[in-house]
Amino acid sequence: MTIKVDVAIIGAGHAGLNAVKEVRRVTDRWVLINGGPLGTTCARIGCMPSKVAIHLADTYQARQRLGRYGVEGGEHLQIDHQAALEHVRDLRDTFVDLVLANTTDEMDEDHLIDGYAEFLDAGRLKVGERIIEPKATIIATGAHSVVPPEWEGADGVLTVDTLFDQERLPESVAVIGLGPIGLEIGQALHRLGIQVTGLDHGERVARIADPTVNRAAIDIFQREFPLLFGHEPEISRRDGGFLVRSGEREVRVEKLFFATGRHANLAPLHLERLGVPLGAQGVPLFDPTTLKLLKLPIYLAGDATGGIANLQRAAEQGRIAGFNAVHRRKRRYRSRAPMAIIFSEPNIAVTGRHWHELDQKRTAVAQQRFGPVGRALIMGQNRGLMRVYADRRSGRLLGAAMVGPRCEHLAHLLCWAIEIGMTVDKALDMPFYHPVIEEALQDTLIELRGALRGSPARYSWRRLAPRLVGT
Ligand SMILES: Cc1cc2nc3c(=O)[nH]c(=O)nc-3n(C[C@H](O)[C@H](O)[C@H](O)COP(=O)(O)OP(=O)(O)OC[C@H]3O[C@@H](n4cnc5c(N)ncnc54)[C@H](O)[C@@H]3O)c2cc1C
C-alpha cells in the first residue's frame, strides 16, 4: 500500500506535534508516524515525572528541618515507596492524558500511523507494510538512553525509561553518570531513603563548566551522598547485585541506574540510504537555522538533532520545521541566550556564555555566596554560590553559573537580561523587592559593577540587615 502525502512527520514528541500544528494550517495531506507509546518523552519519562519524583523526595527530606522549627517527631515519619511511585505514575498519566487530549486523540488513522519508519530513499518511507511517499519529511524521533552494550536490557539495570514503572524501589543503587539526569534522579532516590552512590568518569557534576561553581556544587552534594569522580566505573555482577569500582573505592549495590547520556534515535531510520554525510550520533548535515538537510526536502527537529535536550527548543524547532516543510519562504531558527536548569536541591543553573567560552582578559567576574542571604536563611537553604560574568568594555552581562536556592528563577532573570544585551548598570537600575532571593543577584551585580570599575564593592552590610526604605 502506497500513500502519497505532502508531509510525513516521524515522531509524536513535542517537536513532531508542533510540526503537525504548522503543517495542517496549509495542507490536510500529512501523516504523523510514531513508533512506541504516544504521549511524548517529556510527559512519559522526562521533564514531568522526574520533577514529580524530585518534589516528592524534597518534601520528605524537609522532615529533617522540622526539629529546628520546634516541630517534633519528624524523624519518625516513614515513606511508603510503593505509594510514592504510584503518585509519580498518577501524575505522569495525567500529563500524558493532557498531551493526548490536545493532540493525537483527535487524529484519524489516515493521519496517525502507528509504527517505526525507515527511509527506503530520500522520497520514500516504509512503515510496516506501508510505503509513504512524502514531498517533505520531518525527522523528530527524539533520543534514547545510552547504556553500554554489555548491560543493555540486563536484569537490575535501570534508566529513566524504566525507573518510574518499577513496582518497588531498590535498597541501594549506583548512579552511573552525574550529568543533569544522574544528579537529579540520584538525589531524589537518596532523599527517598535509597542508598545511592553516584559515579562519573569525569570531574564535573551536571556539566558545570565554571570550576568554582563546580567545586561548590560537588562539596554540597557530596555532603549529602557519596559521589565518586575521576575513574571509569568498573562493574561486575556480585551476589545477585553489582560490585562497582571507582579507582580504589568499591560499592555493592542492588541495582544500576545508567545516566550516561542520550543519543538521537536515528539508526533505525537508515539515513545512510539518503546519500548524505552523517556526523556524530549519525546526525546528517543540516542547516541549523532552517533545520533542512542540504539539498533534500528533509528537516530535523528536537532531540533528533543531537544537541543538548531541551523541551522548549524541541517545540520551537518543530514549529519551524513544520512551517518550512510547507512554505517556500523559510523561517529561521534563532538560537537565544542558552539556559540550563538542574532541579536538584539546591538548583544548579547556567545561562549565557559558559566559562570556557569567555575571553578571560575581557571578562569581569563577581560572585556571591548564598550563606548570608536573608531569604535563603529564612528558607533554611543558604548553601551555594552564584558567579556572574560581564564584558569589561561594554559592561554587558555575558553569562552566569550558580548552585543555590531557587536558581531556576535567577537564571531566567539573567538569561532575559543577557538576551536583550543588558549592561550591569542597567540591571542594577531594575526594581528589586525585599527579602527575596533576587537580592543575591543584586549584590552580585553590585560587586560586578565594582569589578568593572576596578574598585571593590561595598555591599556586605545589606545582606542580613532589613533594608531601609531609600537606602
Ligand atoms: C529524565 C529527563 C528529564 C528531562 N528534563 C528536562 C527538563 O527539565 N527541561 C527540559 O527542557 N528538557 C528536559 N528533558 C528533555 C526533554 O524531555 C526533551 O528534549 C524533549 O522531550 C524532546 O522532544 P522530542 O519531540 O525531540 O522527542 P520525543 O518526545 O522523544 O519524541 C520522539 C518520538 O519519536 C518516536 N520515534 C523514534 N524513532 C522512531 C521511528 N523510527 N519511527 C517512528 N517513530 C519514532 C519515539 O517513540 C517518540 O514517541 C528531559 C529528558 C529526560 C529524559
Pocket probe for ligand 1: among 42, 187, 258, the residue whose CB has the most ligand atoms within 8 Å is 42
CA 96 to ligand 1 center in whole angstroms: 13
Candidate of 31, 38, 41 to mutate for ligand 1, largest count of ligand atoms within 8 Å of Cβ: 41
> Is the Cβ atom of 34 under 6 angstroms away from ligand 1?
yes
Contact 230, 201 (CB under 8 A): yes
C-beta neighbour count of 244 within 10 angstroms: 23
Q: Which long-range contacts (CB under 8 A, 24 or more apart) does 440-444 make?
A: 440/368, 440/370, 440/373, 440/375, 440/376, 440/386, 440/404, 440/410, 441/368, 441/386, 441/388, 441/410, 441/413, 441/414, 443/368, 443/373, 444/366, 444/367, 444/368, 444/386, 444/387, 444/388
180 CB within 6 A, ligand 1: no
Structure confidence at residue 459 (pLDDT): 47
Longest dimension (CA), the chain: 76
Relative to the CA of 117, which ligand 1 atom is closest? 42
- Give residue 42's identity as a one-letter amino acid code: C
Task: Determine contact, residues 333/291, Cβ cutoff 8 Å.
Answer: yes
Residues ≥6 apart with Cβ < 8 Å to 361? none
Give the pLDDT confidence score for residue 457 in this predicted structure: 55
The per-residue pLDDT for 281 is: 86
Residue 132: which residues within 8 A CB-CB, separation 6 or more?
A: 2, 3, 5, 8, 31, 33, 113, 117, 124, 125, 126
Kindly give the interhelix angle for 14-23 and 311-326, rounded to the nearest 10 degrees: 30
Query: How far apart are the CA of 46 and the centre of ligand 1, in A?
Result: 7
Look up residue 199 and give its amino acid.
L
Q: In terms of C-beta density within 10 A (0-12 exposed, 13-18 middle, 19 or more buried), how is residue 68 classed?
A: exposed
92 CB within 6 A, ligand 1: no
Is 140:301 a contact under the CB 8 Å cutoff? yes
Q: For residue 467, what are the CA distances in angstroms to 108, 289, 323, 386, 436?
A: 61, 47, 51, 21, 11
Query: Within 10 A of 129 (CB to CB), how many other CB atoms are there?
Result: 7
Cβ–Cβ < 8 Å for 30, 7: yes
Q: What is the pLDDT of residue 260?
A: 96
116 lines ligand 1 (CB under 6 A): yes
Q: b/e per residue, 181-192, with b = 16+ CB within 10 A?
A: bbbbbbbbbbbb
What torsion, rounded to 10 degrees, do the Cα atoms 41, 25, 294, 285 define? Answer: -10
Residue 469: predicted pLDDT: 37
**Residue 312 CB burial class (10 angstroms; 0-12, 13-18, ≥19):** exposed
Ligand 1 in reach of 11 Cβ (< 6 A): yes
Q: Is the pTM of this model over 0.85?
A: yes
Q: If you take atom 4 of ligand 1, which residue's CA is the nearest one?
A: 47
Q: How far apart are CA 198 and CA 173, in angstroms?
A: 9
What is the b/e burial string over 277-291, where b = at least 16 CB atoms within 10 angstroms of the residue's CB? eeeebbbbebeeebb
Q: Is 268 in the pocket of ligand 1 (CB under 6 A)?
A: yes
Cα-to-centroid distance, 334 and ligand 1 (Å): 21
103 lines ligand 1 (CB under 6 A): no
Q: Is the CB of 317 under 6 A from ligand 1?
A: no
Cell numbers at 449, concatenated: 559593577
Q: Which amino acid is at 435?
A: P
**Identity of the residue numbered 35:** G
Which pLDDT belongs to residue 435?
A: 97
Ligand 1: centre distance to CA 38 (Å): 11
pLDDT (0 to 100) of residue 456: 59
By C-alpha distance, which of 51, 44, 139, 143 is closest to 100?
44
| 3-15 residue pLDDT tens | 999 999 999 999 9
Please report the beta strands in 323-443, taking only residues with DSSP state E, as ranges in sequence order.
339-342, 347-352, 363-369, 385-391, 397-404
Question: Does the beta carbon of 177 lie inside 6 Å of ligand 1?
Answer: no
Mutate to test the pocket of ligand 1, among 298, 311, 320 (most ligand atoms within 8 A of CB): 311
Q: In the numeric block, which cell numbers belong to residue 406?
A: 531557587
Ligand 1 atom with the shortest distance to the CA of 116: 42
The response to whether residue 104 sits with its C-beta less than 6 Å from ligand 1 reads no
**Parts of the chain with a pLDDT under 70:** 455-471
